[in-house]
Chains A and B, each alone.
Chain A
Amino acid sequence: MTTTTTTETTTTEATATLDTTTKTLLRFATAGSVDDGKSTLVGRLLHDAKAILADQLAAVTATSRERGFLGGEFDFALLTDGLRAEREQGITIDVAYRYFATDRRSFILADCPGHVQYTRNMVTGASTADAVVVLIDARTGATEQTRRHLTVVSRLGIRHVIIAVNKIDLIDYDQTRIETVENDIKDLADEIGLETPHLIPISALAGDNVATTSDNTPWYSGPALLELLETLPSADEDTADLEAFRLDVQTVLRPQGGLAPGLDPEEFRDYRAVAGQITAGRVSLGDEIEIHPAGLKTTVTGIDTASGPLETASAPLSVALRLADDVDTARGSVIAAAGTLPTPRRELRAEVFPFTAEGLRTGDRVLIKTGTTTVKGIVTIEAKRNLETSKTEPAEVLAGNDIGLARVKLSAELPVPDFRDHGTAGAFVVIDPQTGNTLAAGIHTPEAAHSAESTEDQS
């Protein structure tokens, strides 16, 4: 029996700010090991944002007491370690998603464990994140694991990287020590090629600089962690106006014969629209677009949603587009702002992140899913990234948790853009055609990943 709070009825006197209809959303990931106090930080964030409800807290308090935590202290890890094996072994196995909101914003937190399968978990958690918080212990400073974490976030092009230097209560809030750690991080970031990350000295246990700035660090003039997270621009704010419009077609909506009940068949007799989620940029009525693989240009005559038509729409909205000409489009077609469609290519040049014990090797026959298309592929491993030095070394095999460079020959030409410039549309997953398992993630980075080579392919 772990749930002890049973008699509450809900209260109605408080009228908190409710409005997720106007609040923006920020997705972020946390990385670091248990030793860095990551679970404590996650617990602290949820606690300070009042996202832990009474029955959860009661359950955690009871179990903490059983485990020997004294004086009403919590083992915050109990909040996040959801699987029986995790609680029994005291380790975090898998990425866990947590939800909380402040008056200003909603948050989705991908909590990535640091020890087991760290690359798989980091890449998974970071793939959908607008920001990543990397935790380090103020006493030890940046470690080999910090280097690995920063390498991954650097390769994945995470826009906002925050280093939370934890346990500053244990170094007596020593400004000099924090400056040393900060300089080390700057050197490391330079070496890895990461733009200077935000750095916040915190104590997750004591709460310093987590929800509010602390009196214990008068020398720190920056925001508290939660304040920073509240003000960072999210993906759609960051990029919608900078990037060219792109939509990967999921399906074509033609209701003839299968109209939703209540609609007028006359009105929708000739209705035809291509449906998909906008992966980049913004589209407006009248915009000229081009279509792969039809190779034709036309204009947008309608941007439909079930709630009504729009004049303009931006990533990541799911919409249905009506086009001026009856162009041949189907699932897997790509629609982009005219003149911006990447040259279709038969070969990806990629940074790959193998996930399974078998790893990935030259000659592997795989399936590649990118956008809304799945094609066959043959892998050629070129190099392995040495995570101690961040340099690449020639290799033909990558093990699980390695990061490496590969070419992937494709069975069809696809207009895959450079991930570094266009994000998600340049990402793919590698699938085992026999078992269906996801073997690896990859990002197409022809320039960045292969800058040492001079031959840009023109296949």
Chain B
Amino acid sequence: MSIDTQFNHNTHTTAEAAPAHNPGASLSTLDVLESEAIHIIREVAAEFERPVLLFSGGKDSVTVLHLAAKAFWPAKIPFGLLHVDTGHNFDEIIRFRDETAEKYGLDLTVAKVQDYIDDGRLRERPDGTRNTLQTQPLLDAITGGKFDAVFGGARRDEDKARAKERILSLRDEFGGWNPSSQRPELWNLFNGRHLPGEHVRVFPISNFTELDVWSYIAREGIELPELYFAHDREVFQRDGMWWATGEFSTPRNGETVTTKKVRYRTVGDMSCTGAVESSADDLESILAEVAATTVTERGATRADDRISAAAMEDRKKDGYF
């Protein structure tokens, strides 16, 4: 599928213009959020030497990539993609990642946690999760690629610590986030200045909610990995979440495997991301489900955020996404 059709675009030479925003009519929330994100992406591309976009294949990073393509249309996105592969990713996601990079014609850098485990720089954790192991390969990839701006798909509605993070978030040489000395961020003026060795994380969809992201995906017709849509899968229940059976998540004693219709609200590692029971197999029904949901996406499906109330803050201070 070409980007052209993805944007549902009438070519610029067409005499008849698309429906205009009527004078007096107000802009929708999605129009305003989209324009804000595009503004941020253009600012960073203009002011930084070597930006890169963290691309996991998850819906938020897919949305940021789509916005980046819109920001520079008809020119190509002027930066590449970076993915930290924990080795515990779903196969479907890795495939989707590679196809997407190719579709947009972008360089893809992959930092592999497995390489670090193989040569002893990192050790497998007793609980099997590799989520926290991503930080070192991420920081090494940022340093190695000389990236000074790193786009991410974090949103402020995801977590209490993220609610306080800036759109341009300065990281020190160790990748650390210092929440008590953040730069105030005013109007649409973003200060991306940084010293050698420092870099800036950039979150263009900070102000999108989960529902906004889904509404935007539906409006724009953005392609997503199939995991987000309801499908039959062999799962077992642990800590109130449904886990896929697979190489990296195997049932323990007393945990029985059943086939359920499930979908994923977030896409992370097989070893730390649970599925929810759902029959929502298209965008419309997912939208209805998200609008009516009673549990946050991270609370529902992410074991990594359940460790403590400050789990996200602690990881961010250490250089996490």
Q: Which residues of A are at the interface with B, using a C-beta cutoff of 8 A?
A: 1-3, 5-25, 53-56, 59, 63, 79-85, 87, 93-99, 101, 106, 108, 120-121, 123-124, 127-128, 233-234, 236-237, 241, 250-251, 253-255, 258-263, 267-268, 271, 275-277, 279, 282, 285, 302, 304-314, 316-318, 320, 322, 331, 355, 367, 369-370, 372, 424, 427-429, 431, 435-438, 441
Contact = CB atoms under 8 A, between A and B. Distances in A.
A98 B191 contact: no
Instruction: Kindly name the residue among B2, B39, B276 whose own CB sees the greatest number of chain A CB atoms within 10 A.
Output: B39
B295 A438 contact: no
B146 interface: no
Interface string B33-52: 11110110011011000000
Interface in B114-171: 156-157, 159-164
B188 A277 contact: yes
A20 B28 contact: yes
Interface in B70-86: 70-78
Contact of B299 (A53, A94, A258): A53
A85 B293 CA distance: 30
Contacts of B279: 12
B174 interface: no
Contact of A59 (B191, B207, B277, B309): B309
Contact of A98 (B76, B104, B163, B292): B163
B215 interface: yes
Contacts of A307: 7-9, 18, 70, 220
A259 B73 CA distance: 8
- How many chain B residues sit at the interface, stated as a range, is 35 or more
15 contacts: A5-B299, A12-B292, A53-B294, A98-B157, A99-B209, A101-B211, A123-B186, A241-B24, A251-B46, A253-B75, A260-B76, A304-B12, A309-B10, A312-B20, A318-B35
Contacts of B77: 260
Contacts of A306: 7, 9, 69-71, 73-74
B212 interface: yes
Contacts of A96: 160, 163-164
A108 B205 CA distance: 13
Interface string B227-269: 0000000000001110000000000000000000000010000
Given A99-B156, A316-B36, A318-B71, A83 B185 contact: no
A19 B215 contact: yes
Contacts of B35: 277, 316-318
Contacts of A54: 294-295
A18 B291 contact: yes
A275 to B, nearest CB: 6
Considering the complex of A and B, which 4 residue pairs feature the smallest CB-CB distances, nearest first? A262-B2, A6-B240, A82-B160, A436-B193
A95 B3 contact: no
Contacts of B162: 82
Given A53-B294, A261-B2, A302 B163 contact: no
A342 B217 CA distance: 40
A241 B8 CA distance: 29
Nearest to B1: A262
A372 B43 CA distance: 8
B29 A23 contact: yes
Contact of A308 (B8, B179, B182): B8
A101 B215 CA distance: 14
B189 A7 contact: no
Given A309-B14, A317-B21, A22 B28 contact: yes
B18 A309 contact: yes
Given A20-B216, A98-B157, 13 more contacts: A2-B308, A9-B276, A10-B289, A11-B292, A95-B184, A97-B156, A99-B209, A128-B188, A234-B26, A241-B23, A276-B42, A318-B34, A429-B186
Interface in B89-117: 103-105
Nearest to A275: B42
A255 B74 CA distance: 6
A372 B46 contact: yes
Contact of A55 (B4, B69, B291, B299): B299
A106 B194 contact: no
Contact of A8 (B4, B32, B290, B295): B295
A338 B205 CA distance: 34
B75 A436 contact: no
B245 to A, nearest CB: 19
A93 B179 CA distance: 9
A6 B215 contact: no
A304 B7 CA distance: 13
Quick one: which of B9, B74, B105 has the most chain A CB within 10 A?
B74
Interface string B285-320: 101111111111001100000101110011000000
Contacts of A271: 12, 74
Given A251-B45, A436-B191, A259 B291 contact: no
